[in-house]
A and B are shown apart, each in its own frame.
Chain A
Amino acid sequence: MLSRRQFIKTGVIGGAVLLAVRAAYGPFSADPLIGEDRDYPYAILQGKERTMLAAIAPVMLAGALPQESDARQRAIVQVVRGVDTAIRGLPPAVQSEVGDLFALLVFPVTRRVLAGVAKPWLDATPTEIAAFLERWRTSSFVLLRTAYRALQELIMAAWYGNPEAWPRISYPGPPVVT
């Protein structure tokens, strides 16, 4: 089983192949995570952004993702891909805003000062990440509440728009129409 850090560092080459990567750590790339996802050509998200999202998503979605480790890691990959797809469908001006938000989150100084996350995303614990999200969610600064909402919407939409999420919430999917 890959540790969280190993999972993020090595990248995912494809759901089934992930299991075979357990024993080997795979190539280390300068931009970790999901950097070598050959099954999905990322259109928007850079490696550092994928790392950040892969750290935040399981905290944002705590309780909603599969419990079992491999299924859970596959789900996280699905969410990060889903965020990339969603951003691709936004108008340029809005893509630019999302890009600015992600830049704040991946740049260490603003990550520390604005998000209050001292460690790199690879190393931040779920508790630390949850505390940062809660700070932004309830902040007296409108800008930070705005930033929280942008993250929440992208991550929630990526998961709950995915049929993988539906059994857990007992949503049967669209009806069959003849």
Chain B
Amino acid sequence: MTSDIVADGLAHGWNVRDASTLTADLSLDTDVAIVGTGAGGGTAAEILTRAGLRVILLEEGPFASSKDFKMLEAQAYPQLYQESTGRKTKDKGINILQGRCVGGSTTVNWTASFRTPPAALSYWQQVFGLKDLTVDELAPWFAMMERRLNIAPWALAPNQNNDVLQRGAAKLGIATATIPRNVKACRNLGYCGTGCPVNAKQSMLVTTIPAALTQGAVLVSRARVERLTFVKDRVSALECSALDSSGLRPGSHKITVNARHFVLAAGAIGTPALLLRSRLPDPHALIGRRTFLHPTCVSAAIMPSPVEGYSGAPQSVYCDHFLQSQPVDGPIGYKLEVPPLHPLLMATTLQGFGEAHAQLMAHMPYTQAIIALQRDGFRDDSPGGRASLKRDGTPLLDYPITDALWDGMRRAYWTMAEIQFAAGAKSVLPIHEDAAAYESWPAAKEAISHLPMQVLRTRVVSAHVMGGCAMGSDESNSVVNADGRHHRFENLSVSDGSLFPTSLGANPQLTIYGLVARQASRLAAGLTGRPALPIA
């Protein structure tokens, strides 16, 4: 029987508040206030509390845990995700999966853990002056977080969904490899995306957040940080709304958090939105710009034998061939992986409606899918999106898809179809409103040439939100420095995916862990006068 970490923790004296239950305004005082409990917030919290600092964590989402994770999409998506998995870009062209709960996106992601690709680091050094962020400099931080989160290449055989990618690529002489995963005692269930029911996924929810809470950190959930207040070059406080019992709207109470130092880890989109609501001085209009998504297109295949893509470790095989076959600023390259297939997400992703759609759904156990993640942000014609605010202060990302990205997606459709046929697919269905199921590679190849690449015809999704508060050495093109410290506000750090000056070409969680482990350790040393302790 899986023990529930939250129940256990509360029994051992964790200081946790659900802001939706407040009956009066709250004023709190601490050393470091951390906004957000995802990859960055969790990592920072554990390191800073380990250094003896008082920490308060604010989280907009609920404190859900394994007892809540029933592996049911209809329940998990509204509870654990931004906009119930329905967050979209301004023109509705891209559907974004992003977490909204304690643990952030790490509570709902599919466990892929990759160190920052050297090509991205080189680009950051050259173009953004991040000379310190070399492979060697970051290696010990990645190693520490890999130990902390039990990251290792998946040791079991890939499920059929992943095997199709592996054997199809192998047939074509294209290299694939095994994905490292942050899991411990994983039962190979396949439900990472609805919250791991057995605490095998080493998300922030079951690792750094419990460690920080056990060390005395305070966590307030269902609290939305509305703005920072500041005087001259110092941030003074956070002003937060306690959400109501729906967890979606501000309730009647407010929370104020005073601190010496402020760490923003509300994620890409979220952190820039907070800074915009705060009207933090932004002389070069950088905040929210250069937000990247790894825009992703999908190819489905019907295989002759059962795939059962709802079962087994969701992502265990990847292919970087189409990233490495050209320079990082060449024609946009893409990483290939596979997505888990569960009914609700599959149904809303597939094109069409009526009998045709029902027929496809009826083939669910025989359906395989490959996804291609476009490496955006390394060219002038891939400038990313801009996060701004809706009228009610909630965030909105405007990400126009450029021709360079459409070109990459068309090439990706060809690649995925060829791989699927090589693996023995009976038919291949590019996920596009104008595409049909093609029964041969030549037919698919021809049809893909003619698909109109336009928003809301080409299905585009994203599970990786990055950028909007870029690191860099120069104030004219960055908001924070290589340590995540704001160029102007001395007691303000950004510790999440919004740090990235470009996308990565790899799933971002380990990059965030590594960067934040390094910067939080330096922050702890700066605030305490003593070197920070390793957390693994």
List chain A positions with a Cβ less than 8 A from chain B. Answer: 59-64, 82, 85-86, 88-94, 130, 133, 137-138, 142, 145-146, 148-150, 152-153, 156-157, 159-162, 165-166, 168-171, 174-175, 177-178
**What's the minimum C-beta distance from B85 to chain A, rounded to whole angstroms?**
9
The complex places the Cα of A76 from the Cα of B227 at a distance, in Å, of 44
Q: Which residues of A contact B191 (CB under 8 A)?
A: 174
The complex places the Cα of A138 from the Cα of B434 at a distance, in Å, of 8
Q: Is B230 an interface residue (CB 8 A)?
A: no
Given the interface pairs A149-B92, A161-B73, the reply to whether A156 lies near B347 with Cβ below 8 Å is yes
CB pair B248–A91 under 8 Å, yes or no, is: yes
Given the interface pairs A142-B91, A171-B310, the reply to whether A137 lies near B83 with Cβ below 8 Å is no
CB pair A146–B456 under 8 Å, yes or no, is: yes
CB pair A168–B346 under 8 Å, yes or no, is: no
Q: Which residues of A contact B155 (CB under 8 A)?
A: none
Contact of A86 among B84, B246, B248, B391 (CB under 8 A): B84
Q: Is B354 an interface residue (CB 8 A)?
A: yes
CB pair A169–B394 under 8 Å, yes or no, is: no
Per DSSP, are chain B's interface residues mostly helix, strand or loop, or mixed? loop
List chain B positions with a Cβ less than 8 A from chain A. Answer: 1-2, 70-74, 77-79, 83-84, 86, 91-92, 187, 189, 191, 197-198, 246, 248-249, 310-311, 342-344, 346-348, 352-355, 357-359, 361-362, 364-365, 390-392, 394, 433-434, 455-457
**What's the minimum C-beta distance from B455 to chain A, rounded to whole angstroms?**
6
Per DSSP, are chain A's interface residues mostly helix, strand or loop, or mixed? helix
CB pair B354–A91 under 8 Å, yes or no, is: no
CB pair A157–B348 under 8 Å, yes or no, is: yes
CB pair A63–B355 under 8 Å, yes or no, is: yes
The complex places the Cα of A161 from the Cα of B390 at a distance, in Å, of 29
A-B contacts, 14 listed (Cβ < 8 Å): A63-B358, A89-B77, A89-B78, A90-B86, A93-B390, A93-B391, A93-B392, A142-B455, A146-B92, A149-B92, A149-B456, A160-B347, A169-B364, A171-B364
Q: Which residues of A contact B1 (CB under 8 A)?
A: 178
CB pair B364–A157 under 8 Å, yes or no, is: no
The complex places the Cα of A73 from the Cα of B212 at a distance, in Å, of 52
Least CB separation from A144: chain B residue? B456
Given the interface pairs A90-B86, A91-B394, the reply to whether A161 lies near B357 with Cβ below 8 Å is no
Contact of B348 among A91, A130, A153, A175 (CB under 8 A): A153
Q: Which residues of B contact A169 (CB under 8 A)?
A: 343, 361-362, 364-365
The complex places the Cα of A142 from the Cα of B91 at a distance, in Å, of 8
**What's the minimum C-beta distance from A161 to chain B, rounded to whole angstroms?**
3
CB pair A157–B72 under 8 Å, yes or no, is: no
Q: Which 9 A-B pairs have the closest CB atoms?
A: A63-B358, A89-B78, A161-B74, A174-B71, A145-B456, A160-B347, A63-B355, A64-B358, A62-B354
Q: Which residues of A contact B353 (CB under 8 A)?
A: 59-62, 133, 137, 152, 156
CB pair A145–B346 under 8 Å, yes or no, is: no
Q: Which residues of A contact B433 (CB under 8 A)?
A: 137-138, 145
Q: Which residues of A contact B391 (CB under 8 A)?
A: 93
CB pair A175–B71 under 8 Å, yes or no, is: yes
CB pair A161–B456 under 8 Å, yes or no, is: no
Q: A63-B354, A64-B358, A175-B71 are in contact. List 15 more A-B contacts (CB 8 A).
A: A59-B354, A61-B358, A62-B353, A63-B358, A89-B84, A148-B456, A156-B348, A157-B74, A160-B361, A162-B74, A171-B343, A171-B364, A174-B70, A177-B198, A178-B1
